[in-house]
Amino acid sequence: MAPSEKEKDATANGCHVSTSDAPAPKRARLPRPSSSSLLFRGDPQHEKELSWQRRCIEATLKGFAIGAGLKGGLALFSILVRLKSRGSSRKAGSMTNKEALIMALKETWRYGMFLGTFAGTFASVDELIAAIWGHKRTAKWRSLLAGLVAGPSMLLTGPNTQHTSLALYILVRSAVLAARCGIKSKKFGKYCKPLTWSHGDVFLMCLASSQILSSYILKPDSLPSSYRSFLNKQGGKAPIILQGVKDIACGRPFSNLGAVKEYYNSLGVDVTLDPNMKVPCKIIHGNQSCSGHVLSFFVQAYGRAVPVYLPVYLIPALIVHRKGLLKRPYTILGKTIKGIGRSSLFLSVYCSSAWVWTCFLFRIFQRCNIPMVALGTFPTGLALLIEKKSRRIEISLYCLSRAIESFFTCMSDAGLCPPASKLKRSDVIVFSIATAVIMHCYAQERDVFRSKYLNVLDWVFGIPPPASDEEHEKQS
């Protein structure tokens, strides 16, 4: 059989071409081992170094994701609200939509960098100390120092941006963890026994309410602007009404009684206000009786409270429970609706009872002064009993941090303590001390955390179990 032209050409070029019909079997190409894999194969020290690097990188990325996700979500919600609102309702000189979007992106990036750097710094310092001095030898103080070193990451949110509220909240959380450690301790357990009171969260809420609501009426500038705007909306009273109550509580002549009357006239209410009145009930609710005002105010307050808790319950239901939502939608949606209704009831009762108790005391004692306002707002915290037990401590600690900030602002304005502005970046110092305590408890007293917080911290920081120095030396 004569060879074909293609075969002749291939032969002329020095190639051998098989004339068989069956294809020639291909030889499997084995990957060439790299020099690094040959060098470090089976080297436990190299594998340990890779695990350290992996932990630090993962902690940084996860911290960034949490920071950017939380801040970005809040920014997205505020932008949607802004786009939904009409341009005429915005104040003159406010930011444009483009400027608000750029600001939101910057804030999202800064908070992502803040938490990413915090997590990465903590993991790096923790691993560095353990590598130099051993895991067991440094176990009691390693996480404390790593948390302290990671604290200044807060500066990445902006060198001139004070985060007093955040720092105080983290400080309060660290104090709670320290108290739980004290309760467990044999040495300090007897001194911390009063902290085991089952209704301590409600008592803290009452204390915080007295400070917050008194400041809301008498000194609103002591509260952060964002929190003050929240109270203005949920409190349901115009600033001009609050000013009238403040004047009579402080024993000053009315500065805006005519404006209060004009306000009620604009609502179609013809109210008569006595300049010599001793109780401000007429200023607070016009011609309504105290009981009638409470009922009407409660209905309105509930309507204002529902939109607050819709995202609080719906977003976790859609994200955290997305798989269960497909399998048992009615159960999860039922719990979500129940949670929204219950929390909305708490907030509406809380706001309504603030006016109930103050009016009640004003009527009994026929006077209105600063102690009466503080005393009347104290039992408002009892509304927290409506909430689930697991949520009570969260709400009370949040309000307590706000109350502490307001209290020290009032003290500094009275000249009894230096203002926070004179202590440069005191928020960073407080935050660093608080995170040092929290991370120490996380590494050494893990049972003082609730499981959901512990799972998040484990996911981000991935702290390995303590290893003995002998095992560490063998791996070295």
Residue 5 lies in a domain: no
Same structural domain for residues 265 and 302? yes
For residue 346, CA distances in Å to 255, 332, 351, 400 come to: 35, 21, 9, 17
Whether residue 416 contacts residue 123, with contact meaning beta carbons closer than 8 Å, is answered with no
Instruction: Let me know whether 72 and 213 are in one domain.
Output: no
209-218 pLDDT tens trace: 999 999 999 9
- The answer to whether residue 41 sits within a structural domain is no
Same domain flag for 295 and 238: yes
Residues 344 and 258 grouped into a single domain:
yes
Q: Residue 192 domain-assigned?
A: no
In a domain, 194, yes or no: no
The answer on 405 and 323 residing in a single domain is yes
302 lies in the same domain as 341: yes
- Judge whether 17 lies within some domain: no
Please write the tens of the pLDDT for every residue from 99-150. Answer: 888 888 888 999 999 999 999 999 999 999 988 888 888 888 999 999 999 9
Query: Would you say residue 434 lies in a domain?
Result: no
d(CA 190, CA 61): 43
* Residue 56 burial class via C-beta count within 10 angstroms: exposed 0-12, middle 13-18, buried 19 and up: buried
pLDDT digits (tens, 9 = 90+) for 392-438: 998 999 999 999 999 998 988 887 877 766 677 888 999 999 999 99
* Distance in Å from the first CA to the final CA of the chain: 71
Q: Are residues 174 and 258 in the same domain?
A: no
The string of DSSP codes covering 119-155 is HHHHHHHHHHHHHHH-HHHHTTTHHHHHHHHHGGGGG
Whether residue 176 sits in one domain with residue 204: no
Q: Which is nearest to 127 in space by CA: 461, 431, 432?
A: 461
Question: Domain of 303?
Answer: 200-424
378 part of a folded domain:
yes
265 and 174 belong to one structural domain = no
Q: Angle at CA 158, nearest 5°, toward 156 and 163?
A: 95
Cα distances from 80 to residues 85, 232, 423, in angstroms, run 9, 21, 37
Taking the C-alpha atoms of residue 452 and residue 457, their distance in angstroms, rounded to an integer, is: 9
Residues 228 and 367 in one domain: yes
Q: Is residue 207 part of a domain?
A: yes
Residues 337 and 454 in one domain: no
Quick one: 207 and 349 in the same domain?
A: yes
Number of domains in the chain: 2
Q: What is the dihedral of CA 251, 255, 257, 258, to 10 degrees?
A: 170
Predicted structure pTM score: 0.77
d(CA 168, CA 406): 11
- Per residue of the chain (476 residues), what is the pLDDT tens digit? 445 444 444 444 444 444 444 444 544 444 444 444 444 455 566 666 677 888 899 999 999 999 988 888 778 777 777 776 655 455 555 677 778 888 888 889 999 999 999 999 999 999 999 888 888 888 889 999 999 999 999 999 887 778 888 899 999 999 999 988 888 887 777 777 777 788 889 999 999 999 999 999 999 999 988 889 899 989 889 889 999 899 899 888 888 888 888 888 888 888 888 888 888 888 898 888 888 899 999 999 999 999 889 888 887 777 666 677 778 888 888 989 999 999 999 999 999 999 999 999 998 998 899 999 999 999 999 999 999 988 999 899 999 999 999 999 898 888 787 776 667 788 899 999 999 999 999 998 888 888 888 888 988 988 655 544 444 444 44
